[in-house]
């Protein structure tokens, strides 16, 4: 690809691309700055894994009704509906390393207070919802900045590889190892998982102060909050992609909203082993994230996305029909693998289609829609479980996901099928949606 020479406002010239994305000086995704980002990401994800297993168990202790439990699960993702655009603006207008650092240090303070209240047996449903919302809000800011920072640290040709490393790390820590330890420790001392997460947040936060990322250009400060949302929907390729992923996320929320109840009541999973059950999906996530680049090269980006949707839908159907934790756990691992492959490919594709100046705002608008769909599904799961039993949300999620994959095959292949053969830095600033 032919580089374009940009002339920034300060008069110094630097080499860039047609999208304004600066080419990293070190083309390896394992350069020192990326390694620092990865290390801090691993620490914070491991800490989050402790409460990933502990929060649903705490919700069952506080109020075991299905609607109450699903509300707590939904509260973790709900901030994306309200803060997505603001979180993206922060990561575009300020140095992303500093934004990540401050957000995680603040999360450490929130989690410390949460651990104190749990230890004093002063936690009720309303207080739990408030703390989960506060932690989720700061987490939204951290994630917006971290994903927006990736493209400035590595070359576009390595997006799948680097995102696979991060996704696999998150799965191994937050979705696998963390919940196992978190649920075991919760059964012994309920406050400890939250304290452990607080320590992890403070540790990673202070380390992130040493990560130097690019300072935003002056014109970025004048950008609007809605610019990312406008780019996401004005570009036809991004619009189709986010629609597919948002639907799948909402259906995944149907499952997560009642999962702890189905696992502990119908599949015979003991509370102390719930984290181990969650780890089956985490194991699939790890493998899927690490192999996503290979799968995408063999099948292509589009068929990896559609195949992941179909496979995970079948996995939900197996879980809905299961009466054994072993069968359900095996199916959950397959779901995790499919989500890992599809998630990495979708994130990388979004980064390839997004100009650098809008990376944070487009990413946050994306997560506002996608992660915002998950709590809607989780809340719906509580009502469906009351009407038709705990397995109904899983059954509906499986059927709907397979149907969606089939119905969207033609528009997805027609619009996104040519992306793999196009240049890595398509000129999208005109908003035309052409690739």
Tell me the pLDDT tens digit for each residue of 283-313.
888 888 888 888 888 888 888 889 999 999 9
Contacts for 338 with CB less than 8 Å, ≥ 6 apart: 284, 288, 307, 308, 309, 311, 312, 315
Mention every residue, 6+ apart, whose C-beta is less than 8 A from residue 180: 53, 275, 276, 278, 279
Q: Output the CA angle 228-17-147, nearest 5 degrees.
A: 45
Q: Point out which residues pair with 15 in neighbouring strands.
A: 5
Comparing 175 with 350, which gets the higher pLDDT? 350
Query: Which CATH code is given to the segment(s) 28-210+223-421?
Result: 1.20.1250.20
At 27-47, the pLDDT tens digits run 455 578 888 889 999 999 999
Structural Rg of the chain based on CA atoms: 21
pLDDT per residue over 129-169, tens digit each?
Answer: 999 999 989 998 898 888 788 888 877 777 777 888 887 88
Mean pLDDT computed over 265-274: 84
Angstrom distance (rounded) from CA 145 to CA 21: 16
d(CA 93, CA 74): 29
Q: How many CA atoms lie within 13 A of 146 on its CB side?
A: 31
* Contact (Cβ atoms closer than 8 angstroms) between residue 423 and residue 432: no
Residue 370 contacts residue 245 (beta carbons within 8 Å): yes
Half-sphere exposure of 217 (CA within 13 A, CB side): 19
Stated pTM of the model: 0.65
21 pLDDT band, cuts 50/70/90, is very low
Instruction: Let me know the angle formed at the C-alpha of 390 by 386 and 396, rounded to the nearest 5 degrees.
Output: 95
The CB density around residue 227, as the number of other CB atoms within 10 Å, is 19
Nearest Cα to 59, choosing from 44, 79, 74, 45? Answer: 74
Other Cβ atoms within 10 Å of 304 Cβ, number: 24
Map out the domains of the chain as residue ranges. 28-210+223-421
Tokens of residue 407, six digits: 């119905």
Structure tokens of 289?
């994230």
Rounded (5°) CA angle 325-169-132: 70
pLDDT at 419: 61
What is the pLDDT, as a whole number, of residue 430? Answer: 35
**Residue 304 in tokens:** 């990896």
Other Cβ atoms within 10 Å of 419 Cβ, number: 17
Rounded to 10 degrees, the C-alpha dihedral 373/378/383/387 comes to 110
- Chain length of the chain: 435
- At a CB cut-off of 8 Å and minimum separation 6, what does 216 contact? 92, 93, 94, 95, 357
d(CA 97, CA 375): 28
Q: What percent of the chain has pLDDT over 90?
A: 24
Q: What is the pLDDT of residues 164-223, one digit of tens each?
A: 888 788 878 887 778 888 888 888 889 999 999 999 999 999 999 888 777 776 554 445
d(CA 183, CA 88) in angstroms, rounded, equals: 33
């Amino acid at each position: 690809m032919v580089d374009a020479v940009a002339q920034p406002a300060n008069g110094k010239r630097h080499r860039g691309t047609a999208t304004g994305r600066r080419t990293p000086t070190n083309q390896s995704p394992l350069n020192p700055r990326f390694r620092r980002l990865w290390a801090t990401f691993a620490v914070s994800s491991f800490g989050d894994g402790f409460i990933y297993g502990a929060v649903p168990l705490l919700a069952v202790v506080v109020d075991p009704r299905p609607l109450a439990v699903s509300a707590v699960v939904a509260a973790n993702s709900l901030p994306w509906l309200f803060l997505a655009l603001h979180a993206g603006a922060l990561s575009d207008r300020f140095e992303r390393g500093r934004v990540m650092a401050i957000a995680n240090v603040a999360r450490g303070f929130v989690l410390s207070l949460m651990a104190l209240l749990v230890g004093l047996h002063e936690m009720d449903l309303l207080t739990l919802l408030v703390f989960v919302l506060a932690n989720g809000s700061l987490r939204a800011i951290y994630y917006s900045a971290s994903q927006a920072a990736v493209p400035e640290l590595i070359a576009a040709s390595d997006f799948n590889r680097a995102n696979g490393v991060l996704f696999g790390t998150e799965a191994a820590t937050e979705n696998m190892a963390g919940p196992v330890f978190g649920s075991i420790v919760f059964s012994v001392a309920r406050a400890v998982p939250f304290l452990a997460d607080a320590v992890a947040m403070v540790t990673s936060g202070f380390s992130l102060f040493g990560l130097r990322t690019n300072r935003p250009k002056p014109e970025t400060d004048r950008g609007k909050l809605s610019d990312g949302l406008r780019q996401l929907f004005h570009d036809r390729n991004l619009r189709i992609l986010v629609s597919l992923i948002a639907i799948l996320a909402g259906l995944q929320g149907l499952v997560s909203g009642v999962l702890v109840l189905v696992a502990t009541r119908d599949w015979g999973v003991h509370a102390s082993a719930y984290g181990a059950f969650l780890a089956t999906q985490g194991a699939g996530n790890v493998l899927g994230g690490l192999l996503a680049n290979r799968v995408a090269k063999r099948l292509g980006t589009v068929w990896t996305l559609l195949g992941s949707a179909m496979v995970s839908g079948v996995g939900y159907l197996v879980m809905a029909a299961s009466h054994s934790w072993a069968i359900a756990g095996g199916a959950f691992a397959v779901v995790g693998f499919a989500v890992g492959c599809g998630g990495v490919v979708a994130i990388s594709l979004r980064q390839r289609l997004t100009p650098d100046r809008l990376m944070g705002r487009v990413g946050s608008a994306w997560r506002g829609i996608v992660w915002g769909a998950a709590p809607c599904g989780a809340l719906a799961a509580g009502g469906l479980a009351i009407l038709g039993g705990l397995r109904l949300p899983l059954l509906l999620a499986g059927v709907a996901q397979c149907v969606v994959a089939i119905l969207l095959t033609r528009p997805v292949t027609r619009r996104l099928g040519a992306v793999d053969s196009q240049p890595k830095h398509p000129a999208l600033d005109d908003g035309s949606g052409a690739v």
